[in-house]
Structure 1
Amino acid sequence: MNVDELVRDSLREQAAEQTPLEPGFADRVLAVRRGRRNRTIACTAAATAAVVAVAVGVPALTGGGDEVRPASEMNKSDIIAHPDQSPPRNMIAAGDTALSAFFVRKAVKQPGGDIVNTRVYGLLDQKTAAYRKTKWAFLDVAPGMRTAAVLEGDLPAKRIGLLDMITGKVERWIPVDHGVASVEFSPDGTKLLATTYSKNPDRDFADHPQNVNGKVVPGPVPSRTGFSVVDLGSGEENWHKAPQWKDESGFLFNSRDDLEWSKDGRSVSSDIGDEPFRQYYDLNGDKIDIPASEKYVSNAEAGLSPDGKLIGGDFSGHGGKVSSEIVDSRTGERVTTVPGQQLLAWADDERIIAWGCDPKRCSGKGEFHNQLILLTVGSDKVIQLSGFRKASAEYPGRWNPVFTQRWS
């Protein structure tokens, strides 16, 4: 397909009328224990547009092969929405944040009765601005969305791949001394946080059964050993011991308990079951107090706004109203609420991406009837970014978003 055809097709898609939204939405929501925090910076804009990006010549990330400009840089529209797509097929973005990837979970039965809850990813192809199904067991995308860190095969992995999102090829492998089952780029994109495990944290074991709703099924086994900070320039891995929390009886939240970067990239943290409910570590592996800037950050995924003044907080709906809190990061006091079910990522200092549904369009039926929406602090305005969440033939499960800073 040539350039003229790409542009013409994308404009035709944008001009098509949007499908009317189905009725029904939550008057309650399941508690979400934890989520990864967004890594975004401020961006101001207002227009709504979506055109598929076309590759043109500028230096590629690695300096090799065809010199191509990423689709996310070609299309700098403030809002790129596809409310008729779920799972999304084409790039979605708002402000300084884009949906760089998404994944679904698929339970795969193993010989002997174990179950592996594998991830099936759709990763943004920076040539076409479309999401492509991948083979990777785990991935994260760097700020600027030119590189993805990928793990292969049966976790934990013994090496980390750095994949060029334009060519789709792994340009470099970084060997690690400790098995890795998750990776996360630092806010400045210069380091990776790799959570290490002795077993696959996505595997449930038949010889460790658990009772779920009266049925005995394979259960989790805690196996987190610690974390490594990997310098991308040198490839050096600095590992630190940090086993996951469990209470005196051996109870743990989940066998997968990945550590996360703080917003300033100076520390990392993980969940614990006792107050203050998160344990922070400096980059030397020493336990530290909660940083002042993150004192009131909850388990909601959005976390701190780009300027650090606000926090995307927890679900606060009551009386049939779906809403979530926006909190003052200095005082912990509620500033306002926004009509979202689950706050996911900041688009800029005043707008936030969430799971939810425009209250004017949804009747309050079905807690899982939600789509990606863009909300504005201090306003009831709702902009639909994706279609309502569902499975598809390619992605057999409800999809989960991975958000990344659009440009570095």
Structure 2
Amino acid sequence: MRIHPLVVDGLITAAQTTVAVLLGRESTAQGWPAPDALGWTLVALANLPTVLRNRAPVPVCVGVLAVSAAYVTLGYWPVVNSLGPMLAFYTVAALRPTRTTAVCAALLAGVWIYAGLVTEGSSMASVIAQSLAYALVLWWFGHSAHRTAELTRQLKAEQAERARREVAEERVRIARELHDVVAHHMAVINVQAGLARFVFTSDARTAREALDTIAGSSGEALAELRRMLGLLRADGVQGAADGAPAPGLDQLADMVDRVRAGGVPVDLRITGEPRPLPPGVQLCLYRVVQEALTNVLKHAPGAQAQVELAYRAGEMTVSVTDDGTDRGTGVDPARKQDRGGHGLIGMRERAKLYGGSIVVGPRSEGGFGVHLTLPTSAQSARRGDAVAE
């Protein structure tokens, strides 16, 4: 559970104030006057404001330095309020530019030297050396923290941009495959329209069947086209349309045989009553199985894999599991994707495109698994998406 930054600052301030109170109680033993009501008030003002140091670093730093100087001026032990100003200055060095940090460093060193001047018996050479050393050390640590934070922000921005590019590339690739599906429907419509026109007056039954085929193909093509356009509009990407016809479930066994030939024992099981499915749904199922088995080949050599395709009422499910002790079918988001843009991004985008859900991760009994569920009715396919990792 992540702790709120203000809570962390509060705990640090409480610890620092406790140390200041303990030092104040030791003032008499060190030969300094014990703090009275005014003294304790100044102790509180020199330490408690540091809880807001990350929200207003410069005002807090200047304020606690001014209170510390007042505390020293009234003749109290300077060491009591040394932690508050140092913590406040460190925060300035970590969050603000060098010029602002230099000014606050001069103020910190100045208060330190002023305390030495008003303290009888002080060795000014030692006081000056301490003031410069503490200021430089705090400046260095603060600067290092500032640089680390900047590098972290840059790294996150680069990772986000890289992920955005990968998603865009994957969407373009999927859109190209969907183009093949739509082109297939158009070819069917063209042939059936020619047939219907040819037999319109001589064979009404054949003409009617051709028109029914045209209606079905045009409906599926329109649905695929809408998905493709929505995909391209999401990030404003555009892509060309080329390549071989998209594969379907009728080629799933051939693909499994190729994986077996590559050295991975694969068991393919198909349950339920097979039925015709839209080409886009078949393509989505095929590609997810292909990517999962490819990852078994890459990351779990020697593992045994199982592919289970289930025809269910209103939906299709496919599971790819392996018993490997390595990474298996799990696709780590931090792992470099292959040149084709496959991986978890591709699985996620395909599931999203067809309103399905996908779960990728380690299995309790060992190995990894991929489980995809796709709705097959037009209404459920429009409901949205759900992706889990």
- Asked if Structure 1 and Structure 2 have the same fold, meaning a TM-score greater than 0.5 normalized by the shorter chain, the answer is no
Richer in helix (by share): 2
- Please tell me whether Structure 1 or Structure 2 has the larger radius of gyration of its CA atoms: 2
TM-score normalised by length of structure 1: 0.23
Give the structure with the higher percent strand. Answer: 1
Structure with bigger RCO (C-alpha 8 Å, 6+ apart): 1
TM-score (norm 2): 0.24
